[in-house]
């Protein structure tokens, strides 16, 4: 048995066991089509793979005997990397974008903030609506709650409230997330 397990090899950046690195006395051999050829010594299996012009790759060392497959390792590695890239492209990380305003906001400025939030939500991001208070303005928290509820109402066709308006120090915040289709 070898001293390094599969996890240790991955963690240390060592390549999987291929060709001459496979030192087991007996291995189960699988050909390119996926059918089992039987149990061979590692040297016999390596000769079969080299005769076919391919590589012998260790698939599972946990089974008894370990399983090896005859494949073109370069092509296999390329397709695995390509699949990983495609999967990464399709992922979309949801970020939290912030829209700041004051409770005494003008109509035009409010429409600008609504358009910003709309653009963020259409991009698949969450929106944190933040109403900031200065000095004694904190006494008018009801006006800020009304403003945030109006914003939620105006964006209700594309968003849903994830966190309702709540005080956070000298701020009033509300989080909107894109509506699931």
Give 70-104 pLDDT, tens digit per residue: 888 888 888 888 988 888 887 777 788 999 999 89
Residues of the chain with pLDDT under 70: 1-16, 181
Same domain, 51 and 114: no
Answer yes or no: pTM beyond 0.75: no
Looking up residue 30, the CATH number of its domain turns out to be 3.10.20.80
Residue 52, domain member (yes or no): yes
DSSP secondary structure code for residue 36 in this structure: E
CB 40 within 8 A of CB 18: no
Residue 36, domain member (yes or no): yes
Q: Which domain holds residue 136?
A: 96-178
Residue 173, domain member (yes or no): yes
3-state helix, strand, coil in the chain (%, to 5): 40, 30, 30
| pLDDT at residue 6 in the model | 53
Same domain, 103 and 34: no
| pLDDT at residue 3 in the model | 47
Same domain, 60 and 103: no
Residue 6, domain member (yes or no): no
Q: How far is CA 21 from CA 14, 26, 34, in A?
A: 12, 14, 22
Total tally of structural domains belonging to the chain: 2
Residue 113, domain member (yes or no): yes
Same domain, 50 and 107: no
Per-residue pLDDT of 104-115, as tens digits, reads 999 999 999 999
Same domain, 34 and 68: yes
Same domain, 117 and 159: yes
């Amino acid at each position: 048995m070898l001293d390094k397990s599969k996890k240790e090899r991955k963690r240390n950046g060592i390549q999987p066991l291929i060709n001459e690195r496979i030192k087991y006395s007996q291995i189960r051999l699988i050909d390119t089509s996926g059918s089992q050829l039987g149990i061979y010594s590692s040297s016999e299996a390596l000769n079969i793979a080299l005769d076919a012009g391919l590589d012998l790759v260790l698939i599972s060392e946990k089974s008894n005997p370990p399983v090896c497959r005859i494949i073109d390792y370069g092509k296999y590695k390329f397709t695995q990397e390509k699949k990983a890239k495609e999967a990464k492209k399709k992922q979309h990380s949801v970020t939290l974008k912030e829209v700041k305003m004051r409770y005494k906001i003008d109509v035009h400025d409010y429409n600008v903030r609504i358009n910003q939030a709309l653009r963020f939500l259409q991009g698949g991001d969450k929106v944190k609506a933040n109403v900031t208070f200065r000095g004694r303005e904190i006494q008018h928290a009801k006006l800020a709650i009304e403003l945030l509820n109006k914003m939620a109402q105006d964006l209700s066709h594309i968003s849903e409230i994830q966190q309702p308006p709540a005080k956070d120090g000298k701020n009033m915040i509300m989080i909107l997330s894109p509506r699931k289709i």
